[in-house]
Every structure is written in structure tokens, then in C-alpha cells.
Structure 1
Amino acid sequence: MTAGDIHAHMAELDDIPGTLIFTATRARQGYHLNQFAMTLMKAENRDRFRSDERAYLDEWPMTEAQKQAVLDRDFNTCLSLGGNIYFLAKLISTDGKSVAQGVSTMTDMSFEDYTAMMVAGGRSPEGLRSIREKR
């Protein structure tokens, strides 16, 4: 695969509705956001974060949009700004929630409806499959 081919291939990933692929570009964009989230693995960091979230975030060279997304617990925006759900799970856990509870906030469903959908096998493969082709 040539460089041109790989860029065309990567652009195709943006055509998947409701899905953000964690690419190298997103990894670079979200590096500090994800590193912040990983610090929440230590109890003393979770305590510091909980005591003054803004001050803790200001220790990191994240963009203002990334910091605001964390403060708002807007995980969809965090993902669009380079966050990785596996790292952001540390933030969800810091809030005392299960990953399923946190991920359910990324849908337009209640936690109960989200859980029922997942137990039933997940989202239907029917429906919008291509943004560009509207099919």
C-alpha cells in the first residue's frame, strides 16, 4: 500500500456513522488528555482531581475544549478531541460509575435502554452505514 493509498484508506474510516476510529492523528491530538486520564489509576490523583477538577486539569497542556469536555463528562467530545475510551474509562471509574454507565451517556438512550439493547445483541446493522452515500 502506498502513502496515497493509506491516506485514502484512512479517509474511508470517517465515513462510518457514529464511529470515531482512534488513528495515529487522534492519538497525537489526545496525548495529554489520555495521559491525564491514566493518572487517575492512583488513588491520590483521583482524590486531587475530585477536590478541584479544574486545577488538576490545568496542570496538563490540554486544549480548553478537551478540559471542558472532561469537566462536562462529554465523552463523545473527548473522543472527537483525541480521547481513547480505554483511557477515559479511568475517569468514568473515578466518578464511581461502571464503564457501561459511562458509555451509555454517549447514546441517546437511558442506561436501562442501553443495557437492554446490548443484552439483546447490540445495535442493529440495518440503517445508515455510510455518511457519504446516505445509505
Structure 2
Amino acid sequence: MASHTPIDIIMTNLYEVDFFEWTKIQARALQEHNTEALDWDHLKEEIEDLGNEKLNAVNSFLKRLIEHRLKLDYSQEIYPRNHWLKEVDNFQDEIEDRLTQAILNKLDISKQYERARRFFLREYKLDIPQKCPYTFEELMTRYPLNND
């Protein structure tokens, strides 16, 4: 069993009571290379969570992007098309802002397509492909501004 120093106990308590203050102290300790003041267990956990949050955000935007592409490509509705186009642009922007090579390597387009397809089919009773008809590059290609 690892022994905990007084600083470990203080940092654990601070982490649980005032996360914001804990982050400031940890950032300062990192900047000063003060390894004694670092709360290693929680830092490791938080860094892993940050990476997962970015991946989850990109996956969420990817699912919404696919859902709106399905609406544009398979629905015959006219009125909401401009809204869908704006949403597609927005989701592409959000993905571009967060995308890294590491995240790109972890994306599961098939899984996000299954989820988007389920949402789409709740709203529209149309025949759409079982498997994703889009590549990532196609999903990220911008629609022309004049809708040609």
C-alpha cells in the first residue's frame, strides 16, 4: 500500500472540493517543474478524460453530420433544406476545429452511421443504405454555397 504524504492528501481533498483551484495549482506546479506538488493520479485521469472528451465530441458531431447528410440526400422535403445545409456546415466546422490525426485514427464512421441512421429512420420511413454510403472525405466536403 502506497503511503500518502500530506501534500497528496491536501491535493486529493482540493481535487474533490474545488476542482478549479486544483487545476490552477497543478498548472503552476507543471510550469515550475515542481514534481512534488503534482497530484499524479488525478492528473493522469484528467489527461485521459480530456482526450476522450475530444474524441466523443468529434464522434457526436460526426453522427449529427451524417444524419443531416442523410436528410439532404434522401428526404424530398424542400423547406428545411437550407437549415440542414447550415447544420452540415456547422458540424463540419466543429469537426475541423477538433480533429487531429490521433482522433481521425480512432473515428468509427460505421458506428456513427448506425446511430445517425437510427435517428433518421425515426423521423423518415425511407429506404436508406444499411452501411454508410459516405467516406470521411465525402462527409467533410462542403456543399456549394449556391446549392448547385
What's the TM-score once normalised by structure 1's chain length? 0.27
Q: Which of the pair has the greater relative contact order for Cα pairs under 8 Å at 6+ separation?
A: 1
Q: Looking at secondary structure, tell me which structure has more helix per residue.
A: 2
Structure ID, larger Rg: 2
